[in-house]
Amino acid sequence: MKGQFVQTGPNKGSAATILVVDDDALITLNMVDHLTELGHIVLEAYSGRDALTLLENHPEIAALITDYSMPMMNGVELAEQACRLRPGLPVLLSTGYAELPQGIANTLPRIEKPFREEELAEKVGALLSMVAPAE
């Protein structure tokens, strides 16, 4: 699925554009469905490199949700590079690990897989509250 980007629109509510990054297409599709149901516009990428390209080309992206365990660039590495491109970008780390491997310095908010839609809604609400209002 390399290089495939899909944009979906909101069904209800006020939309924020959220970038979802996961190398597993089924997990990505599930996350996209949940976020769309919550009323958000969702861009998706299947690698860190593709996510950085989207961040460079889509200034409307208000937040990033990334899987931790991906080949080539893990989610913490992606978050670090994304925040260099877009200082202040809120990032939510999605992981199946109860604890990240030793030596991984991480202060990012996390959501553990599998998660419930209500849990995602709560985490995304908190994440978007970190977005600085436009002037």
pLDDT tens, residue by residue, 33-57: 999 999 999 999 999 999 999 999 9
Q: Residue 71: CA atoms inside 13 Å, Cβ hemisphere, count?
A: 4
Residue boundaries of the structural domains of the chain: 7-128
pLDDT attached to residue 1: 44
pLDDT tens, residue by residue, 105-135: 567 899 998 899 999 999 999 999 987 555 4
* Listed residue (98, 32, 103) closest to 65, CA to CA: 32
CB within 8 Å of 32: residues ≥ 6 apart? 6, 8, 20, 42, 44
Mean pLDDT score across all residues of the chain: 85
Would you place residue 12 in the very low, low, confident or very high pLDDT band (cuts 50, 70, 90)? very low
Task: Give domain 7-128's CATH architecture.
Answer: 3-Layer(aba) Sandwich (3.40)
pLDDT attached to residue 133: 57
